[in-house]
Amino acid sequence: MFANKEEFKYTFLQRLEMVYGKRFSESTALDQYHTLGNMIREHISNHWIQTNERNRAEHKKQVYYLSIEFLLGRLLGSYLMNLGIRDVVEEGLKELGIQLRDIEEVETDAGLGNGGLGRLAACFLDSLASLDLPGHGQGIRYKHGLFDQKIVNGYQVELPEQWLRHGNVWEVRKEDLAIEVNFWGKVNVYTENGRLKFHHIDAEKVMAVPYDMPVIGYDTKTVNTLRLWSAEPAKFPMNKNVMQYKRETEAISEFLYPDDANDEGKILRLKQQYFLVAASIGSIVREYRNRYGHLKDFHQHVAIHINDTHPVLAIPELMRILLDEEEMSWEDAWYITTNTISYTNHTTLSEALEKWPVYIFKPLLPRIYMIIEEINERFCRNLWERYPGDWKRIEEMAIIAHGLVKMAHLAIVGCHSVNGVAKIHSEILKHREMKRFYEYFPEKFNNKTNGITHRRWLLKANPELATLVTEAIGTGWIKHSEQLIELKRYATDASFKEELAHVKMKRKAILAKLICEKTGIAIDETSIFDVQVKRLHAYKRQLLNVLHIMYLYNRLKADPNFTIYPRTFIFGAKASPGYHYAKRIIKLIHSLAEKVNHDKQIKGQLKVVFLENYRVSLAEKIFPAADVSEQISTASKEASGTGNMKFMINGAVTIGTMDGANIEIFERVGSDNIFIFGLTAEEVLHYYENGGYHSYEYYHHDQRIQQVVNQLVNGFFHDAYDHFEPIYDSLLAQNDQYFVLRDFASYVEAQEKVGTAYEHQEKWLEMSAINIANSGYFSSDRTIREYARDIWNIHE
């Protein structure tokens, strides 16, 4: 179709005029974007159909990845790259007088997620398709993705995100494949031919309408599917109040993470979860029945993966279909269900472990609740046999206890595989958080260290560096990321390092320009770009970073002879709307920036920048420009982290704790090429178990700490003098749950080492090159191969 740029130009112009009824000269960037998008969709439609036909004909086992989040970002650039037509298109457009980059910029991010878990799902889709594996995503087509963040006077303001405002060129609505989902009502139980029957009556029906998006792999004909479900009123609603019914129905796919502070919000979240699951399983089963007629060997041809516990109702939903529709025995249904479904845990934080009150659950999903009760009873009976008389243990492990349904327990009991996302995380699950379950089901537990698609995060995001890499080691790394290790021998090659420095400078200049445009802050392009971008959360300790900057500032002010290598501290973070503490940290960063950036006395040695509305497309501009990657979570708290990998592959050096995947980065690059500080996970957990840390002592004994902590409340930040009291209290009155003060001295020391190391450019560039060389392991291709082999049992 686009054999050469002449052909491309011809088709492009013809399509544009045909669809928009205007001359090219009158067209907008948005028209051009839509035209390109439509051309790509047509271009791949044959491969999309063929992929589905091949899957059917070859009876290949299919994987479905169920996730409440898919943080896709922009798709145009990534699809052009994966199809290998970027150059043709770029050159063709140039001859028409337009820049491909400008067209790319009008695409709104598909921001259907809030952080690592959602971006991981998106990276996995790319790897599945690129490895020619039959793996598809299923999620919710939220009308509004994660809120748009505006900063007003230093405070975060949330605006509804509107990614569908101009339509979505990548999707195909498939109304004929809609699935009916049932809520509320009651269950009639009766006997028929000696079998118990369950009849769900008076249910409120909701239509789940699928929108399919193609997932185009790199340099392959495989086109998988991401199916996103939209909630619509049923054709013939039985409800009295039709308007209210319509509103309530559409609310299901309106927002990602509606506020769940009250019961109404909780009901809506649980509705979303069941909606996703019932629609996904419903469509998988329907397709399967069409092909095989019955569900007896379902687990041999289908694998369903649940991304955290949010889609865990897949377990009782599949049971419901096998029991009530297929009329299987409990034992057969259970065997098929547990052998089909597998589960990844992404956190050990107790506030993120989902527990639903029975009083909400039972009326909303009456039949599903009955099935969970039965699963729980059978499980508890087994526990009783194994641990007779051990009430405490059984109570601890039960799926329903004290009026709550524990979703993680349901996941472990109902899946054949449970995995953590980094070595240390999986160990913590086995030996602490899920210890009892590991004792009972040791064979289920395994680790799959996270990865990122190196194609988006290096090849697409940083073409300058990608070209340099290719010049050194050829193009093999694009499909085989492990080949990046061949860069190791260039780590001491002077001309390679010179090029590397050049590329980094170029990317820093691009980011500096963007920062200036967005914030008005002029930054020194030769300063160290020290970056912390991630969700805002106490455990991620943006506060530790801030306190260190305050300390540097104080020192520069107090001692005119003290100098540092100039540094620009760059932040990007959204705070979840109800998380007031996190929002205060955002304000704190802004207040600090205000003070530091305008202080002539420190002679531009320090700058603080907050980039608003951090999201995938912005991330792609930040990672390539970073010198230092801040991965400073309280050890044991960050399950893995994946930003750390995106920095590493772009040649940034990590300053971090021994937490999550940092540990595996450390193991690969060695202690000379990473800056590690702070308590270990063992030490942190020991403190938690023995209550041994007293933050006040650290405050009392360390003048530097005392000064910066006092400055939170003593009028130092005069624009918000009483706004930071809760932060002050978290550090002292609440005894610093995240060990910020405990790790402060060690962090300062590590930061000093960073500054010194950077001054030795030759050595620094060597560190940078070694980081890139060792990043191949952290490709999601590797991760997906492991899932495919160990958990899903699927093959190309």
Using CB under 6 A, list all residues that contact ligand 26Y. Answer: 115-117, 120, 310, 346-347, 352, 354, 421, 450, 638-642, 660
Q: Which is nearer to ligand 26Y, 76 or 146 (CB)?
A: 146
Instruction: Note if 502 is an active site residue.
Output: no
Q: Which is nearer to ligand 26Y, 107 or 638 (CB)?
A: 638
Q: Which is nearer to ligand 26Y, 620 or 638 (CB)?
A: 638
Catalytic residue among 51, 108, 309, 642: 642
Lookup: tokens for 221: 């004909």
How many other CB atoms sit within 10 Å of the CB of residue 31?
A: 18
**C-beta of residue 275 within 8 angstroms of C-beta of residue 252:** yes
Catalytic residue among 136, 144, 305, 534: 534
Q: Which is nearer to ligand 26Y, 316 or 641 (CB)?
A: 641
Instruction: Note if 540 is an active site residue.
Output: yes
Catalytic residue among 143, 346, 508, 567: 346
Any residues with CB less than 8 A from the CB of 525 and at least 6 apart, and which?
A: 505, 508, 509, 512
* Least gap, CB of 349 to ligand 26Y (angstroms): 8
Exposed/middle/buried for residue 373 (C-beta within 10 Å: 0-12, 13-18, 19+): middle
**C-beta of residue 772 within 8 angstroms of C-beta of residue 649:** yes
* Least gap, CB of 528 to ligand 26Y (angstroms): 25
AA letter at 144: H
Roughly what angle, to the nearest 10 degrees, separates helices 366-386 and 407-414?
70
* Least gap, CB of 116 to ligand 26Y (angstroms): 3
What DSSP designation does 239 have? Answer: -
Cα atoms in the Cβ-side hemisphere of radius 13 Å centred on 626 = 36
AA letter at 462: N
* Least gap, CB of 642 to ligand 26Y (angstroms): 5
Instruction: Note if 346 is an active site residue.
Output: yes
**C-beta of residue 122 within 8 angstroms of C-beta of residue 211:** no
Catalytic residue among 540, 541, 587, 590: 540
How many other CB atoms sit within 10 Å of the CB of residue 194?
A: 5
Instruction: Give the residue from 175, 230, 190, 187 showing the smallest Cα distance to 206.
Output: 230
Instruction: Note if 642 is an active site residue.
Output: yes
Consecutive H or E run containing 234: none
* Least gap, CB of 688 to ligand 26Y (angstroms): 18
* Least gap, CB of 258 to ligand 26Y (angstroms): 11
Q: Which is nearer to ligand 26Y, 249 or 347 (CB)?
A: 347
Q: Which is nearer to ligand 26Y, 456 or 567 (CB)?
A: 456
* Least gap, CB of 268 to ligand 26Y (angstroms): 12
Strand partners, 136: 64
Q: Which is nearer to ligand 26Y, 108 or 307 (CB)?
A: 307
Q: Which is nearer to ligand 26Y, 352 or 720 (CB)?
A: 352
* Least gap, CB of 660 to ligand 26Y (angstroms): 6
* Segment 695-700 long-range contacts (CB within 8 Å, at least 24 positions apart): 695/731, 695/732, 695/735, 695/736, 695/741, 695/742, 696/732, 696/735, 698/741, 698/742, 698/744, 699/731, 699/732, 699/741
Q: Which is nearer to ligand 26Y, 383 or 538 (CB)?
A: 538
> What is the Cα 424 distance to its own chain's centre?
19
Q: Which is nearer to ligand 26Y, 265 or 604 (CB)?
A: 265
* Least gap, CB of 259 to ligand 26Y (angstroms): 12
**C-beta of residue 538 within 8 angstroms of C-beta of residue 728:** no
* Least gap, CB of 500 to ligand 26Y (angstroms): 27
Lookup: tokens for 214: 């193609």
Catalytic residue among 646, 668, 723, 742: 646
Catalytic residue among 227, 535, 587, 637: 535
* Least gap, CB of 539 to ligand 26Y (angstroms): 9
Lookup: tokens for 430: 């086995």
What DSSP designation does 108 have? Answer: P
Distance CA 467, CA 469 (A): 5
Distance CA 596, CA 343 (A): 46
Instruction: Give the residue from 301, 372, 371, 290 showing the smallest Cα distance to 340.
Output: 301
Q: Which is nearer to ligand 26Y, 16 or 665 (CB)?
A: 665
Exposed/middle/buried for residue 292 (C-beta within 10 Å: 0-12, 13-18, 19+): middle
Distances (CA, A) of 565 to 507, 746, 778: 20, 19, 31
Distances (CA, A) of 494 to 406, 467, 506, 628, 761: 57, 17, 18, 22, 11
Distance CA 321, CA 562 (A): 71
Any residues with CB less than 8 A from the CB of 19 and at least 6 apart, and which?
A: 34, 35, 38
Q: Which is nearer to ligand 26Y, 269 or 567 (CB)?
A: 269
By Cβ distance, which residue is nearest to ligand 26Y? 116
Catalytic residues: 346, 534-535, 540, 642, 646
